[in-house]
Amino acid sequence: FSGISTFAHLPHVRCLTHPETAFDIGIIGVPFDTAVSYRPGARFGPRAIRAASARQTSFRGFNPRAGMNPYTSWAKIIDCGDVPVTPMDNGLALHQMTAAYHELLARPALAQSLPRPRLLTLGGDHSVALPALRSLSAAHGGKPIAVVHFDAHLDTWHPKKYPSAWESDQASFNHGSMFWLASTEGLIVNGSSVHAGLRTRLSGDGWDDYEDDDRQGFLRISSDDIDEFGTAGVIKSIIDRVGTEQPVYLSIDIDVIDPGLAPGTGTPEPGGWTTRELIRILRGIEDLNIVGADVVEVSPAYDGNAETTALAGAQVAYEVLTSMVKGGLKRNPPVIAASEQKVVRDEL
């Protein structure tokens, strides 16, 4: 109960101002929410998720489903603090976020066998996925990244689907068009990406939004599909579509969970998955080659006294961290520099 609130009581290092600190997985907060279309407040999401993770500790962090404790395994995991981002100018904010991701992903990981460190973003609204994908693509030699996207909404909408009397680049950057922007920039693998948990309304009077989504190469898994195929069917659909080799960005909007269980979000849609179902699916896709991830749209002002949305976000982040660590054991058996081994043991 003492000390500053970091995710799972992990060591806190302001990574952007301490480049000498090497790590394998960094938790980075992005307190930004001025690209939302409905209810603001997700700028306080990183703080809420960190507070909700207080019951997670390295000495009681063994994950039975994975047979490992992600906090005491090979990876040095630290809380990197937050990206300093302005709420006054979305164009500048996008530049700040992109520069931060570029800086962190250009650094070597502590484990010599890991090509680069992994980042798990605590949002913030969903627009933070665009700067993350820009930097991940750059870090992978300009190649596109597959996206596995858990959300009630498509988020591949053309910016003109959010009408404005004065069109601008800043207005185009929002939490419903960031994947459209990423697709047009060639950042997303066309034909190997997935939406899961959809139950959104569409624009206009027809299927234009789906047709545009098809052109961007996403497979759509609706919230209702879980009734037909179960969690096992959803898992199989994702694995079949994406495979286990290509780099994947895992993007999790907390509104994929039904608002009866996770009310603290900016664009709630009734009819979503349960927290248990989402976690079961995340556990089932642990073999994906996850190179980056986010948990976004936690907006604590709309949460209840029990802070159920923030708790769900913290648990989802724990499951993603576990998959990152377990995947690292399989893909890149870690080699830690001898000079760092004692440091890692001491910190754990």
Collapsing DSSP to helix, strand or coil, 302 comes out as helix
Q: For residues 198 and 155, is the Cβ–Cβ distance under 8 A?
A: no
Q: For residues 180 and 156, is the Cβ–Cβ distance under 8 A?
A: yes
Write out the two tokens for 5: 């609130």
Residue 316: name the closest of 247, 239, 262, 235 by CA.
Answer: 262
Instruction: Answer yes or no: is 253 a known binding residue.
Output: yes
Instruction: Answer yes or no: is 126 a known binding residue.
Output: yes
Instruction: Answer yes or no: is 169 a known binding residue.
Output: no
Q: DSSP code of 60?
A: G
CA dihedral 66→338→117→252, nearest 10 degrees, is: 20
Write out the two tokens for 329: 């054991």
3-state secondary structure 93-143: HHHHHHHHHHHHHCCCCCECCCCCCEEEEEECCHHHHHHHHHHHHHHCCCC
Rounded Cα–Cα distance for residues 39 and 76 (Å): 36
Write out the two tokens for 247: 């780099």
What are the beta bridge partners of residue 121? 28, 294
User: Which residues lie closer than 8 Å to 63 by C-beta, 6 or more apart?
Assistant: 69, 70, 318, 319, 322
Give the chain's end-to-end CA distance (angstroms, integer): 19
Query: Which residues fall in the annotated binding site for Mn(2+)?
Result: 126, 151, 153, 155, 253, 255
Query: Which residues fall in the annotated binding site?
Result: 126, 151, 153, 155, 253, 255
